[in-house]
Chain A
Amino acid sequence: MWILQSWVVWIFVVAMGVVWGLPHLPHYHRDLPYIYDLGGTIFVMWYMGLGFLSLGLYGLVTSFVHLGTFWRVRIFFLGWGSLLLAAILWWLQDVFMNLSIRLG
């Protein structure tokens, strides 16, 4: 499954997630970093969450392809760990959004 080992596939997934996925998030706003006092932090959490999401998906998918048992188990746990971190970051952005004050 060489296609899953290609950067093109994973970068394409992230790029499409940013272009079509991000604007559909509940609190998304074009001017987000500037309209809330914690907007920048929330913005960074979204992007970092997306990074962990891609790593998590890669880990889970790669654990099913031709690797030795040691690497397979390792990347499987890395995948789940990353997905958990992505979920924590996305939950945290919600908490920060509720704490944030709208400017102007």
Chain B
Amino acid sequence: MQLPLLLDLLLAALLVIGTAFALIGSWGLAKLADFFKRLHGPTKASTLGVGCVLIASMLFFTFAPGANGASLHELLITLFVFLTAPISAHLLVKAALVLDPGARPAPPRQQGRQKSA
């Protein structure tokens, strides 16, 4: 089986980008110092990595020889992961703040004049 060269290159680029993002995100999860720094790696990078891999899969199964029509069902996972990743990150931060209330930064000092009452 053969794919057109341009499509082949596009798929290869998507795979490399997605894999690099996922690997860097997981590396950040393993390496960074405390929880709130660790949260940055996976929530941003992994979602983009999975997105690239899913787009690559979608293109592959659409244009591979023997495919019948567009293969759009990967969009389900892409949409679901993109919708749920911020929600789970938000819930994780709330859980971390409950476990360690000292991690919450101090509220900002009130700026300007005090309101006369």
A, B: real partners? no
**Could you list which residues of chain B lie within 8 angstroms of chain A, going by C-beta atoms?**
none
**Could you list which residues of chain A lie within 8 angstroms of chain B, going by C-beta atoms?**
none
